Amino acid sequence: MSTHNPLPILRWLCAATLAYAFAASSLTSARAATGLTEIPATTRNGPVTVFYPSSSAATQVQREPFTLSVADQGTPVRGNGRLIVLSHGTGGNPWVMSDLAQSLVGAGFVVAIPLHAGDNWHDTSKVGPSSWKLRPLEISNAIDSIAHDARFAPLVDINQVGMFGFSAGGHTALTLAGGRWSPARQLSHCEAHIADDFVACTGGATTLTGGWLDGPKKSIALAIIRYKLGDAQSYGHTDSRITAIVAAMPWAADFDLSSLGTPGVALGLVEAGQDIWLRPQWHVAAVRAACKTCVLVADLPGASHGAMLAPFPPLLSSRLLPLVADPVGFDRTTEVPRLNQSISAFFEQQLHASPKP
């Protein structure tokens, strides 16, 4: 019979367990904040806004009309080892995607948001196909920016990256998923459905009201569209580092849908049933019907196109506001966080993100 006294070992195990629990609790607390910084533009890449797990304390930070609770220039710490790149919509900016970005950071992701050249809130000179040809490469360049940044390169595996895009950014997402599109296909769609999909075809520049001006508006719109969209070339761009993608309310009527039948990446879709800017039947629902492997990440039957704008921009024009305003009955305070959580869960599953500390 052994006479060894087990009490010292038990005491040691208890002390070690308590120390580990304390350290884990402290680490989790230290990583609770969302850091915020910007990688400046270079001759090759535009500026990239980065949200990330940080050990620094959050404060109230003003970014244009938005107040964010973030650790500005906070110390980065490792989260789950994965990077998500977000692509904003037409005339967009990083701040209207900051709720989603912070939700993803809460799950441990580093989030990068490039400012798309010629299609952002400061510069709309390339809105439409001119921007759509550039946007996918700008996403790849944003990944490069993270990979070459001494703060973030050690914290993420850039060979397993997620990508999210909304509206025009959704078009970018479908392109990176392997979709092929052409301006001429967009022209064909608008010629066939100018009345049904007028806002999408005109980019929200004007709307139909049911009055006598609707006829001239359609004629002028088609004349401009025919002038601008004669290019029949097929465009595409993929990046092997991107392995999971979510396209939310995407512009999709110009895609060869057969190219999205079996995407080479995990592709999720977000649909808003009350979207009058990009009516689902011509855009996301058409992709959903054609895609054999796509996942419906979120179906929001009571939401408009603006559901992904969070925080919601307070200074929209009287022309744009009706196109993105929340419909009666849509509860943004509960639906938007649930939407963001669904998107985060999709990426956690598809990217095999390591557990949060």
pLDDT digits 0-9 by tens, 31-49: 569 999 999 998 788 899 9
Q: Is residue 29 part of a domain?
A: no
Query: Which residues of the chain form beta strands (DSSP E)?
Result: 33-39, 48-54, 59-63, 66-72, 83-87, 110-114, 161-166, 180-181, 242-248, 255-256, 266-272, 295-300
Q: Is 126 among the domain residues?
A: yes
| Whether 168 contacts 132, CB under 8 Å | yes
DSSP 29: H
> Does a structural domain hold residue 8?
no
Q: How long a stretch of residues is the chain? A: 357
Could you give the CA distance from residue 7 to residue 30 in angstroms, rounded to a whole number?
Answer: 34
User: Does residue 83 contact residue 153 with C-beta atoms inside 8 Å?
Assistant: no
In the chain, the number of structural domains is 1
What does the pLDDT read at residue 32?
A: 66
DSSP symbol at 140: H
Q: What is the pTM of this model?
A: 0.89
User: Is 257 a member of any domain?
Assistant: yes
Task: Tell me whether residue 255 is in a domain.
Answer: yes
Cα 13 to chain centroid, rounded = 46
Nearest residue to 354 via CA among 156, 113, 84? 156
Contact 271, 299 (CB under 8 A): yes
Counting beta carbons within 10 angstroms of the beta carbon of residue 3, is it exposed (0 to 12), middle (13 to 18) or buried (19 or more)?
exposed
Residue at 16 is within a domain: no
Identify the segments of the chain with pLDDT beneath 50.
1-30, 355-357
With the CA atoms of 247, 273, 206 and 225 taken in that order, what torsion angle do they form, in degrees rounded to the nearest 10? Answer: 50
Task: Using CA atoms of 32, 34, 39, 40 in order, give the dihedral in degrees to the nearest 10.
Answer: -150
What is the reported pLDDT for 7? Answer: 43
pLDDT of residue 9: 41
Q: What is the CATH number of the domain that holds 337?
A: 3.40.50.1820
- Please report the pLDDT score of residue 316 as a whole number: 79
Task: Answer whether residue 324 is part of any domain.
Answer: yes
Residue 225 lies in a domain: no
pLDDT at position 210, please? Answer: 85
Predicted pLDDT of residue 39: 96
Residue-range definition of the domain harbouring residue 165: 34-182+234-350
